[in-house]
Chains A and B, each alone.
Chain A
Amino acid sequence: MDMPIPSAEILSRRADHIAALKSVVPADRVIEDVIGLRAYECDALTAYRCTPLAVVLPCNTEEVAAVLKLCHDRGIPVVPRGAGTSLAGGSLPTADAVVVGVARLTDVLEVDYDDRIMRIQTGRTNLSVTAAIEEDGWFYAPDPSSQLACAISGNIGMNSGGAHCLKYGVTVNNLLGLRMVLMDGTIIDLGGAHMDAGDIDLLPVVCGAEGQLGIVTEATLRILPKPEGARPVMVAFGSSAVAGACVSDTIQAGIVPVAIEFMDRPCIEACEAFAKAGYPDCEALLIIEVEGSDREIDHQLALIREIAERHNPDEIRESRSADESARIWLGRKSAFGAMGQINDYMCLDGTIPVSELPYVLERIGELSKEYGLGVANVFHAGDGNMHPLILFDANKPGDLERCEAMGADILRLCIEVGGCLTGEHGVGIEKRDLMHAQFNAQDLEAQMIVKDVFDPKWLLNAAKVFPLDASEARRA
């Protein structure tokens, strides 16, 4: 993975830059020792690492502003960091960059159930946002798999989704306002506790810009009352294609489940071996969850059963209790851990039109044979967000490269059928150079224009998202 060559000039003045950082924020905010910096050399894309120039962990928005202004004036690149859980290398530093982390900004600033909003500092983890309100019967809807660890700042950066976004939408649909610091230190507010904007609305482009437009320190979130209950049904099929058709029919029948999860045989077998959830022996499996009162759930599950039966399922297992629900979810929730136990794997994130599911699964199977690498599929079927896990052996020379080549082929396939490279993980460095496959030069130019406006010197997380050859002239 290419990264820009660090500036020798910045590296040679490291001591001076660190002293300057300590002059604008209290010294204990700055990490400069080799051991301390090691924790920041990568995120959850651990294949790529680089020790940054320094790390700053500010304690408020004004400190973030002071650090950015200093870096801006000195021409030092900045890499923003939430909890460091990016699977795409979103917070991978360069050697000449200062990492600015929001880990110390974790306060809940305001909760208002009457107005159905919550204001937080963005270093707070996703799960602890809901944790602060769930005893009162409320929740924050986006629920990425990493929700125990990931920070809201990163959720905003990547516009994160989760299993339940079929019904509740992704981050951008649940974000009402934010406070952010631009690279030159300017602090701005977008949106607030009200809905939408009166004119051009910048908020939806900041959400999902992978930390390239500014560092978001506070967010106003839409919160929702918890449903009375939720229960899943598990349906086993003899082929992935039939499972795909069942997904489409369910949606078309007017049922909008809160989640539709899909697993194929390799994944089911791995989960069985790992979690012993008692899953049926089948080619493909759907877990469909619906919400409401008991009676409402019964009714929706009956409708789903009726649709599923038209597709001759191997088995239908309806949950009738919390315990049965937990057993149905057990395998799915341990899928990534289970796969990790048997192999190294690379998790892809392409999204496709739901109607293309059978074809894409078939093609992935063929690619798997061609490359001689196993693939397990586990994903959010309702919205077409695929997560093929390509299995490889990191200790075997050439395996990682083959795995990356196969991953690129799968992502090109997603684009070919009308989909996209990434549904919720973001581009980062991982998919940066594949952007040419989805966008032409004009499309990319129209996006980079936005960065020109927010960060004219291209100092903020600049080596991400856009192919290096496309952004080169601007970064120079």
Chain B
Amino acid sequence: MTQTTFTPTTEDELSDIIASAIGPFDIVGGGTRHTPAGHQRLSTAGLSGVRLYEPGALTLVAGAGTTMAEINALLADNGQRLPFEPMDHRAVLGTTGEPTLGGMIALNHCGPRRVQAGSARDMLLGLRFVDGSGRIVKNGGRVMKNVTGYDIARLHCGARGKLGVMTEISLKVLPLPERTATMALAEPSPIAAVAGLSKALGSPFEVNGAAWHQGRILLRVEGFNDSVSYRADQLAGLLPGLTLVDENPWDDLRDARFAATTDRDIWRVSLRASNGAKAAERLMGMGVDVTLDWGGALLWASTDNGFDLRSALGGLHGHATRLRGAGDAPALEPAADGVAQLTTALQKAYDPRGLFNG
């Protein structure tokens, strides 16, 4: 069966489509991040294009359907980037298409540089969206500091489109560094590895990548040439044996490509850094493949199909998401009662007819 696809090119058109809708939608950007539920499709492809880019003010405003490829190319031409390293899901989910800005915000993505540069949420300056009643809303703006009214823009970060369809997004961008250096140190134990990562992240040397992958501690520093050499030396002093390596493991870590070649379930777990070490040790004993990022605060697990990772973690985690695979356990972390009530009520307030639930 072919689904109807709506491709509005203006907010007014989008508002009309939503207001007159009789059934739920699948909101689709590039279609790289989730499997549509089979509803009528609402594509953001017509809401694309860079609207404003001021490198001297570190500000970018673009339509939600703008591809990441277009944005990354434009920024690179001007010696800038999105510092939080948004994940590209195509390898791990086997999807095609082009990731979009809207999808990136909807999943609040962030890569290894999360430890320093934050997530998409931290760089979001403002948003325009249409809610489930067809209401066209703007929130935030294009300036760095803004506490004018409630920050409902950031509510959309990680909300997976459940509160509305984003149309335009403003972001803070940052300069590209002059140099990036990666260092490695063999360390088979996750407990010792996280202790080492904590030492590095607790130093003043501005580490912005701190992972444990395939038995190695991996660290990254970036900045001006001289600065990078200096910090690399200082870190080697803190962690004897740490050496510069001529490789870039960070894009693979960002996209969890190390898990792409298997057909195992993939989980992404956010937890307290020291719990990351404990959880890694426990899970490895259960035959789970584990990689740690964010100094231990992000755990990637590849498990047997249907494995209930949350039970196995025994309360060590903050939240766990099953990125790939199926099973009885829900893919997203269930919220505690009081919080779940608020979240459900909020969803209902923005989307009274449940158009965006799928």
Contact = CB atoms under 8 A, between A and B. Distances in A.
Contact of A116 (B54, B202, B319): B202
Contacts of A252: 55-56, 175
Contact of B198 (A114, A256, A418): A114
B336 interface: yes
A208 B332 contact: no
Nearest to B119: A196
Given A195-B297, A207-B151, A446-B152, A383 B145 contact: yes
Contacts of A190: 339
Contacts of A187: 338
B227 interface: yes
Contacts of B336: 188-189
Interface string B71-102: 00000000100000000000000000000000
Contact of B148 (A116, A293, A353, A421): A421
Interface in A128-145: 137
A186 B338 contact: yes
A200 B317 CA distance: 17
B204 A225 contact: yes
A200 B146 contact: no
A170 B145 contact: yes
Contact of A355 (B56, B145, B333): B56
A353 B146 CA distance: 11
B143 A450 contact: no
A473 B119 CA distance: 38
B154 A172 contact: yes
Interface stretch (B1-9, B36-44, B155-163, B182-190): B155-163
Contact of B137 (A198, A204, A446, A452): A446
Given A114-B202, A446-B131, A188 B227 contact: no
Contacts of B142: 353, 418
B345 A197 contact: no
B23 interface: no
A380 B230 CA distance: 30
Contacts of B263: none
A296 B226 contact: yes
A202 B155 contact: yes
A423 interface: yes
Interface string B212-225: 00000000000110
A461 interface: no
Interface in B97-145: 108, 110, 114, 118-119, 121-122, 131, 135-139, 141-145
A201 B155 CA distance: 6
Contacts of B138: 439, 443
A402 interface: no
Interface in A203-243: 204-205, 207-209, 225-228
A453 B110 CA distance: 29
Interface stretch (B24-32, B249-257, B270-278, B300-308): B270-278
Interface string A258-278: 000000000000000000000
A186 B270 CA distance: 26
Interface residues of A, number: 95
Interface residues of B, number: 84
Given A199-B158, A454-B342, A194 B317 contact: yes
B145 A248 contact: no
Interface string A150-175: 00000000110100011001101100
B162 A200 contact: yes
A202 B321 CA distance: 18
Interface stretch (A10-18, A320-328, A335-343, A424-432): A424-432
Interface string A398-422: 0000000000000000000011111
Contacts of B270: 194-196, 198
Given A201-B108, A418-B143, A453 B342 contact: yes
Contacts of A426: 147
A400 to B, nearest CB: 23
Nearest to B174: A256
A248 B333 CA distance: 43
A329 interface: no
A116 B273 contact: yes
Q: Which of B143, B198, B224 has the most CB of A within 10 A?
A: B143
A169 to B, nearest CB: 6
A454 B148 CA distance: 19
A198 B321 contact: yes
Contact of B272 (A115, A200, A255): A115
A362 interface: no
B108 A196 contact: yes
B10 interface: no
| 10 tightest Cβ-Cβ pairs between the two chains A and B | A194-B318, A198-B319, A198-B333, A204-B154, A423-B145, A383-B144, A248-B56, A254-B175, A188-B338, A193-B272
24 contacts: A114-B202, A116-B198, A137-B204, A187-B338, A195-B294, A198-B319, A199-B335, A201-B108, A201-B158, A205-B151, A252-B56, A296-B230, A300-B224, A353-B57, A355-B56, A383-B143, A419-B143, A420-B141, A423-B143, A423-B147, A424-B147, A427-B148, A442-B137, A450-B152
Given A351-B146, A420-B148, 8 more contacts: A113-B202, A115-B274, A169-B118, A188-B342, A199-B343, A355-B54, A419-B141, A446-B350
Interface of B: 54-59, 79, 108, 110, 114, 118-119, 121-122, 131, 135-139, 141-152, 154-155, 157-160, 162-163, 174-178, 195, 198, 201-204, 223-224, 226-227, 230, 270-275, 294-295, 297-298, 317-321, 332-333, 335-336, 338-339, 342-343, 345-347, 349-350
Interface of A: 112-117, 137, 158-159, 161, 165-166, 169-170, 172-173, 182, 186-202, 204-205, 207-209, 225-228, 248-249, 251-256, 292-293, 295-296, 299-300, 351-355, 380, 382-385, 418-427, 431, 435, 438-439, 442-447, 449-454, 465-466
